[in-house]
Amino acid sequence: MTVEAPIRVEDKLFQNRYLVDVGNAHIRVKPHTKPSAELLALLKVCPAHCYELNTNGQVEVTPDGCVECGTCRVIAEGNGDIEWDYPRGGYGVLFKFG
């Protein structure tokens, strides 16, 4: 069996156009000590790989590459793990093809 190099989502996102609203993150993770199962699921399910574990084992979000799909909202807004909103009008991902 061949072992394949993991896919780098960053390379995919690099092809997209974004207008990042610096200092105005549209998604926030509520402070926590131990991440819930829902938060942990986001590490994998986010198609832009915006969620990562920090050195303390907490889930962090960096929504710069977010494609605004809403998947993390569907999973983790209900139990209060995250706050989710659209970026301000005009900001965020700008699809040329969609």
> Binding mask 41-60 vs another protein (x if CB under 8 A, - otherwise)?
x--xx-xxx-----------
Among 23, 33, 56, 97, binds another protein (CB under 8 A): 97
Find, among 61, 63, 9, 67, the residue nearest to 30 by Cα: 61
Asked if 78 is part of the footprint of another protein (rule: CB under 8 A), the reply reads yes
How far is the CA of 29 from the CAs of 3, 23, 45, 72, in angstroms? 34, 15, 16, 11
29, 39, 75, 82: residue in contact with another protein (rule CB under 8 A): 75
Residue 90 CA to residue 42 CA, distance in Å, equals 26
Q: How far is CA 38 from CA 19, 30, 34, in A?
A: 29, 13, 11
Using CA atoms, how far apart are residues 82 and 45, in angstroms rounded to an integer? 15
88 near another protein, rule: CB under 8 A? yes
| Binding flags for ligand SF4, 24-63, as an x/- string (CB under 6 A) | ---x------------------xxx-x------------x
For residue 16, the partner it binds in another protein, ligand SF4, none, with Cβ less than 5 to 8 A by kind, is another protein
